[in-house]
Amino acid sequence: MIPENDKSQDEIFESILSESLELNHEAPDTHCGMIAIVGRPNVGKSTLLNEIIEQKVSITSRKPQTTRHRIMGIHTEDKYQAIYIDTPGLHIDEKRAINRLMNRAASSSIGDVELILFLVEGTHWTEDDEMVLNKVMLSGTPVLLVINKVDLVKDKEELLPHLEFLSQKGKFLDILPVSATKGKNIDVIKKHVREHLEPCEFYFPEDYVTDRSMRFLAAEIIREKLMRFMGDELPYSITVEIEQFKWQDNGVWQVNGLILVERETQKRMVIGNKGEKLKTIGREARKDMETMLDNKVFLELWVKVKSGWADDERALRSLGYGSE
């Protein structure tokens, strides 16, 4: 289930922490805890989260920096509730305001969790991986190193020296090769996670899969389709606001989305020849929203130029970035 309204992320964090502190001494027979999923952009953090909770709550794409917000995915099974925090990819380039805010959102998730899933990819190791490694090691939290996308490693023998190389990088609970898209070794991740959950009352009702509202997820769905259908021509700084999200008397959800771009030329690209591109984006987004809401949706999209917003921290805050 998906809640209708967003609570502030800080509110949720605070109450989970204080409740688990208060309840620890009563030792209930349920267990819960928070797990941060961290890694550089594009290693597959959101794909892994969706695979673990078996539902799509975090958008994914081939383009780095798809995830811009901190999102919680909730997985409840038997007496265990694991609250996963999907974070924007951590990376070194902090020049633009949006990058600084995304890095802050990711870094603040690393403290105060029971376990960190540190994701890397195949047999690569980059400067950004090194930067993430330093941050997670400083946190003092147990770290499970997850090597994602092993399905892409043709010669599996190449993995062995890489595993050896990674084991020299720090003290990890385990180093686990997985494939998020093929569902390989996901059960082993879940087993590690269970072992780190503390006795506490469930924070979320058992049928919740995310802390985010339907309105927020609707904006994310539109952003995902923009990324999918615009490929490399997509303006990096594009953003989406939901102006209306309303249940209509005729039994349909009315959703009005505003797509903000930085330049007139970008607006023309999003709209496409005779409006074709925007129509495709709208059609595909509507289908996903109908699956999410299990109901008919009427979706209207507009594109508007809002110049220079990606460099302006204040404007970003007004759009909800950095307030988490």
Ligand X SMILES: Nc1nc2c(ncn2[C@@H]2O[C@H](COP(=O)(O)OP(=O)(O)OP(=O)(O)O)[C@@H](O)[C@H]2O)c(=O)[nH]1
State which residue, 20 or 66, has the beta carbon closest to ligand X. Answer: 66
| Among 107-115, 146-154, 168-176, 244-252, the segment contacting ligand X (CB under 6 A) | 146-154
- CA–CA separation, 109 and 89 (whole Å): 12
Stretch that binds ligand X, among 59-67, 71-79, 133-141, 261-269 (CB under 6 A): 59-67
Strands 174-177 and 297-305: unpaired
DSSP assignment of 239-284 = EEEEEEEEE-TTS-EEEEEEEEESSHHHHHHHH-GGGHHHHHHHHH
Q: What is the DSSP string of 35-95?
A: EEEEESTTSSHHHHHHHHHTS--S---SSS----S-EEEEEEETTEEEEEEE-PPP-S---
Residue 282 marked in a binding site: no
Looking at 13, 36, 38, 46, which residue binds ligand X (CB under 6 A)?
Answer: 46
Question: In the numeric block, which tokens belong to residue 124?
Answer: 């690569």
Return the closest-CA partner of residue 117 out of 57, 64, 46.
46
Stretch in the footprint of ligand X (CB under 6 A) among 60-68, 160-168, 275-283, 298-306: 60-68
196 binds ligand X (CB under 6 A): no
148 among the known binding-site residues? yes
In the structure encoding, which two tokens stand for residue 110, read together? 């690393």
**Nearer Cβ to ligand X, position 31 or 212?**
212
Q: Which of 44, 177, 235, 282 binds ligand X (CB under 6 A)?
A: 44
Burial 7-27 (b: 16+ CB within 10 A, else e): eebeebbeebeeebeebeeee
Contacting residue, 31, 32, 34, 45, with ligand X by CB under 6 A: 45
Judge whether 89 is annotated as a binding position.
Answer: yes
Residues 10 and 35: their CA atoms lie apart, in Å, by 16
Would you count residue 152 as binding ligand X (CB under 6 A)? yes
CB of 105 to ligand X, least distance (A): 11
Q: Taking CB under 6 A as the rule, does residue 149 contact ligand X?
A: yes
Among 6, 12, 55, 64, binds ligand X (CB under 6 A): 64
Check if the beta carbon of residue 214 is closer than 8 Å to that of residue 293: yes
Nearer to ligand X, 42 or 123 (CB): 42
Is the Cβ of residue 85 or residue 255 nearer to ligand X in the bound state?
85
Query: 287 a known binding residue?
Result: no
Cα 281 from Cα 217, distance rounded (Å): 15
Q: Which of 200, 219 has the CB closer to ligand X?
A: 219
Compute the least distance from the CB of residue 301 to ligand X, in Å. 22
Decide: helix, strand or coil at residue 174: strand
Tell whether residue 42 is a contact of ligand X (CB under 6 A).
Answer: yes
Distance between CA 274 and CA 1 in Å, rounded? 38
204 conformational bin, left if phi > 0, alpha if psi -120 to 50, beta if neither: beta
Number of residues that bind ligand X (CB under 6 A): 24
Q: Is 122 in the site for ligand X (CB under 6 A)?
A: no
Q: Any known ligand binding at 113?
A: no
Q: Does 60 bind ligand X (CB under 6 A)?
A: yes
For position 151 contacting ligand X by CB under 6 A, the verdict is: yes
Counting contacts by CB under 6 A, is residue 223 touching ligand X? no
CB 149 within 8 A of CB 44: yes
Q: Does 148 bind ligand X (CB under 6 A)?
A: yes
Annotated binding site: 39-46, 86-90, 148-151
Residues that bind ligand X (CB under 6 A): 39, 41-47, 60-62, 64-67, 88-89, 148-149, 151-152, 179-181
